[in-house]
Amino acid sequence: MRPLSLVLVLATAPLFAQAPQTPLAPQAPQAFDVVSIKPRLSILPLRVGIPTAAEVLTGAPPDRFDRPDTSLLSLITEAYERFPFEVVGGPDWMRSKSWEVSARTSAPVTSVAMRGLVKRMLEDRFALKAHVETREQPVYKLTMARSDGRLGPKIKEAAMDCRPFLTGARPMAESPKDAAGFPSCSEGVRREPADLSIANGVFTPRLNGRPLSGLVRRLEGMLRRRVIDETGLTGLYDIELSYPGNAVAQVPGADDPPSLFTLIQEQLGMRLVGTRGPAEVLVIDSAQEPTAN
C-alpha cells in the first residue's frame, strides 16, 4: 500500500465524532453472543489500518461489530491496534481474502472492550496465534527542532483531558463546545477541497486534549515506520498539522511544495530524524480460514 492511500484513509474520518449515548455495561462481556463470518468476493480495495477514534465512535452501535468487506490482516490491525507494517508472518490469504463479518454483544461496550471481543473472535474463529517481538528496524526519532524547546504555532497545551470522551468512557455530549457549537473533544481530519477525486488536497488532522502519543501514531501510519518520541513533552496538547496529500511520498526538490518533514518543523517545532532502533512487531504464528457459521 502506498503512503498516499493511508493519507486518504485518514482524510475520510469525520471531523466531529459522536460517542455512543447508550449506557455501557458495568462489566464487559467476555465474547460476542452472535458471530457471522462469510467469504466475500470483494469489488473494492481492501482497507487495512487502524480506525481513528472518530471512526470507532461514530455511527456504530456500541453493541455491534460490522465489517462488510475486510481481510484478516485488517481485523488484526484493528483488534491489536497495529499498523500493517507492524504485523509480520502469517499465511498469504490473510492479506488477500475478503470476509463479511458481523458480530453482536449482549450489552453496549466501550471501544477498548470491543477490541478485546474482536481478539477473542479471531482466536475462536480464525484459530489465530500471535506474539510480540522487538526487532531492530529503520525508525524515526521525533525531537524538538529548537534548542530552547519552543513549540510551533500549530500545537499548544490543552485546556482539558479529552481522552475519556474519545474512548467513549464519557459521552461526547458532555464535552465542552467550541465557538461553532461542536464538541471540543471531537477529533478527525478536515480536507480541502472536500472532493476526494482531487488527489492532492490539503489535509488537517486535529487532535485535542491528548498526549503526544496521538500524534506519534498518526505519523507512524503515514510514514509506515516506527516513530520514537524523544521530545520530552509529557502533557496534553491540542494539535493541528496541515499538509498536502502528496507530502508523505514526496522526494523534496527545489520547486516542490514543503515535505511532511518540513511542515512538522514549521508548524509543530519538531523534527523527524531517520535512524535504526528497536521496534515492536506482532508476529503471526498461525491462522486458519474461519469455520462455517
Mean pLDDT value across residues 197-214: 80
Mean pLDDT value of segment 66-86? 95
Confidence tier at 196 by pLDDT (50, 70, 90): low
Q: Which domain holds residue 166?
A: 137-279
The residue with greater pLDDT, 8 or 164, is: 164
Residues 258 and 174 in one domain: yes
- Are residue 143 and residue 239 in the same domain, yes or no? yes
> Which residue has cell 503526544?
212
Confirm whether 286 is domain-assigned: no
Residues 157 and 261 in one domain: yes
| Residue 42 confidence (pLDDT) | 54
Which one is predicted more confidently, 202 or 34?
Answer: 34
Give the per-residue pLDDT at 30: 86
Instruction: Report whether pLDDT(79) > 80.
Output: yes
Q: pLDDT exceeding 70 applies to what percent of the chain? A: 76
Q: Is residue 161 part of a domain?
A: yes
Which helix (H) or strand (E) segment holds residue 273: the answer is strand 270-286
- In the block, residue with C-alpha cell 475520510: 12
* Domain match, 157 and 190 both: yes
Question: Contact at 8 Å (CB) between 182 and 165?
Answer: no
pLDDT of residue 120: 96
Nearest to 7 by CA among 207, 271, 272, 246: 246
- Is the domain of 107 the same as that of 12? yes
- Name the domain boundary from 130, 157, 181: 130
Output 71 or 250, whichever has higher pLDDT.
Answer: 71
| Same domain assignment for residues 161 and 97 | no
Pair 143, 111 in one domain: no
CA–CA distance, 195 with 125 (Å, rounded to integer): 39
Q: Could you tell me if 91 and 23 lie in one domain? A: yes
Instruction: State the pTM of this model.
Output: 0.73
**Cell digits for 20?**
455512543
DSSP 228-269: EE-S---S-EEEE--EETTTTT----TTSPPPHHHHHHHHHS
How large is the average pLDDT for residues 28-57?
66
Q: In which residue are the cell numbers 480464525 written?
A: 126
What is the percentage of the chain residues whose pLDDT exceeds 90? 51
Query: What average pLDDT does the segment 213-223 reach?
Result: 92
Answer yes or no: do 28 and 120 share one domain: yes
Mean pLDDT across 198-213: 81
Q: Is residue 291 part of a domain?
A: no
Does any domain span residue 197?
A: yes
Residues whose CB is less than 8 angstroms from the CB of residue 139 and which lie 6 or more positions away in sequence, other chains included: 225, 226, 227, 228, 274, 275, 276, 277, 279
22-26, 194-198, 255-259: lowest mean pLDDT where? 22-26
The last residue of a domain, from among 76, 99, 130: 130
Helix (H, G, I), strand (E, B) or coil at 98: strand
Binned at pLDDT 50, 70 and 90, residue 182 comes out as: confident
Q: What is the mean pLDDT of residues 164-192?
A: 80
Backbone phi and psi for residue 102, each to the nearest 5 degrees, phi listed first = -140, 125
Last residue of a domain, one of 95, 130, 165: 130
What pLDDT score does 74 carry?
96
* Same domain flag for 184 and 240: yes
Spatial contact of 241 and 205, defined as CB atoms under 8 Å apart? yes
Mean pLDDT value of segment 54-62 = 53
Residues forming a β-bridge with 191: 203
- Is residue 117 assigned to a domain? yes
**Is the pLDDT reported for residue 52 higher than 50?**
no
> How many domains, the chain?
2
Predicted local distance difference test score (pLDDT) of residue 11 = 36
224 or 173: which carries more pLDDT confidence? 224
Please indicate, yes or no, whether residues 247 and 167 belong to a single structural domain of this protein: yes
Mean pLDDT calculated for residue range 141-152: 95
